[in-house]
């Protein structure tokens, strides 16, 4: 065991190499061991002396522990996330593991490298739907009670926030997104734009805009970020150009309810 152990939590952005920051690329070049969810680790173009340790999607804590144990051996370790590692990703899991773990893990050098998180990439492809106050909610009720999620959806929509939903749906959580649309439809106009953004900036990108009154949870999968406008979010039709969806910076008195 050596004091020189280092662990970097690296955000790789939404998926395209053109959205990986130079800081993230340098952090990848400086590490030897790479821990992460398989599809993220597979994005890396590593040298022969660098080692991938891929794991499953639901194993954040054991992945963080394995990475910390390796760093405590004096190794240079990277934990990779898609998007930004601080948004529903590995940075919090790493902190949880450090707090619960052996004292030597607190002595490690920890670097967190931010990245472009999914909601920013999706928003950029459609206009400026996050142009005024907004929030980000993970729809996964694996880690918090569903009642907490409902309470947050209600509070955010009622106060006029635009809402970005991460982890909207999965095989194990099939009904939560549809239930969220139902709940929000009681608060927001049926015409409120809903954006389903998948693989923004990648070749298989798919961005769909639907009015809340017709939003179908089946449009989303695990890799989709769903953005629901506020009552003030607007659409600019542009003929044969794609429409722009945006939330104006200004807000009239009484516009949020």
Within 162-221, which residues bind a copy of itself (CB under 8 A)?
A: 201
The binder of a copy of itself chosen from 121, 177, 188, 226 (CB under 8 A) = 121
Report if residue 93 touches a copy of itself, rule: CB under 8 A.
Answer: yes
Contact with a copy of itself (CB under 8 A) among 52, 179, 202, 234: 234
Q: Which of 110, 183, 187, 207 binds a copy of itself (CB under 8 A)?
A: 110
The distance of closest approach from Cβ of residue 211 to a copy of itself in the complex, given in angstroms and rounded to an integer, is 18
Q: What is the C-alpha to C-alpha distance for residues 249 and 169, in angstroms, rounded to an integer?
A: 30
The backbone torsions φ and ψ at residue 121, rounded to the nearest 5 degrees and listed phi first, read: -65, -40
**C-beta closer to a copy of itself: residue 48 or 145:** 145
Record the tokens describing residue 250, joined without a space. Answer: 């200004």
- Residue closer to a copy of itself by CB (options 61, 216) is 61
Stretch that binds a copy of itself, among 29-37, 48-56, 189-197, 235-243 (CB under 8 A): 235-243
Q: Which of 250, 207, 242, 249 is nearest to 227 (CA)?
A: 207
Q: What are the helix (H) ranges across the chain?
A: 22-29, 38-41, 60-72, 90-100, 118-126, 146-158, 176-185
> Cα 33 to the chain's mean position, in Å?
23
Q: Does 152 participate in binding a copy of itself (rule CB under 8 A)?
A: yes
Nearer to a copy of itself, 204 or 237 (CB): 237
Smaller CB distance to a copy of itself: residue 171 or 241?
A: 241
Q: According to the binding rule CB under 8 A, does residue 26 interact with a copy of itself?
A: yes
> Exactly one of 92, 185, 187, 231 binds a copy of itself (CB under 8 A); which one?
92
Judge whether 118 and 226 are in contact, CB under 8 Å: no
- CA 179 to chain CA centroid, Å, is 21
- Would you call 220 helix, strand, or coil by DSSP? coil
Measured between alpha carbons, how far is 134 from 161 in angstroms, rounded to an integer? Answer: 5
What b-and-e string marks burial along 74-83, b requiring 16 or more CB atoms within 10 Å of the CB? ebbbbbbbbb
Q: Which of 12, 31, 41, 116 forms a contact with a copy of itself (CB under 8 A)?
A: 116
Show contacts with a copy of itself in window 49-68 (CB under 8 A). Answer: 60
């Amino acid at each position: 065991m050596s004091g020189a152990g280092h662990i970097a939590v690296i955000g790789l952005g939404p998926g395209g190499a053109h959205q990986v920051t130079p800081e993230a690329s340098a952090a990848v070049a400086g590490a030897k061991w790479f821990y992460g969810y398989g599809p993220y680790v597979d994005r890396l173009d590593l040298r022969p002396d660098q080692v991938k340790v891929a794991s499953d999607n639901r194993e954040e804590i054991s992945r963080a522990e394995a990475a910390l144990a390796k760093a405590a051996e004096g190794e240079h370790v990277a934990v990779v996330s898609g998007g930004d590692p601080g948004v529903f990703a590995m940075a919090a899991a790493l902190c949880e593991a450090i707090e619960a773990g052996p004292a030597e893990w607190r002595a490690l050098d920890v670097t967190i490298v931010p990245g472009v998180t999914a909601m920013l990439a999706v928003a950029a492809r459609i206009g400026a739907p996050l142009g005024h106050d907004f929030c980000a909610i993970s729809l996964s009720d694996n880690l918090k009670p569903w009642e907490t999620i409902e309470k947050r959806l209600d509070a955010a929509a009622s106060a006029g926030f635009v809402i970005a939903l991460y982890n909207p749906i999965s095989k194990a959580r099939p009904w939560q997104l549809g239930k969220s649309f139902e709940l929000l439809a009681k608060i927001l106009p049926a015409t409120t734009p809903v954006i389903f953004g998948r693989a923004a900036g990648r070749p298989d990108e798919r961005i769909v805009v639907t009015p809340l009154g017709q939003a179908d949870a089946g449009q989303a999968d695990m890799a989709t970020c769903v953005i629901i406008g506020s009552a003030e979010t607007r659409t600019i039709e542009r003929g044969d150009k794609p429409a722009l969806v945006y939330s104006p910076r200004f807000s009239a008195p009484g516009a949020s309810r």
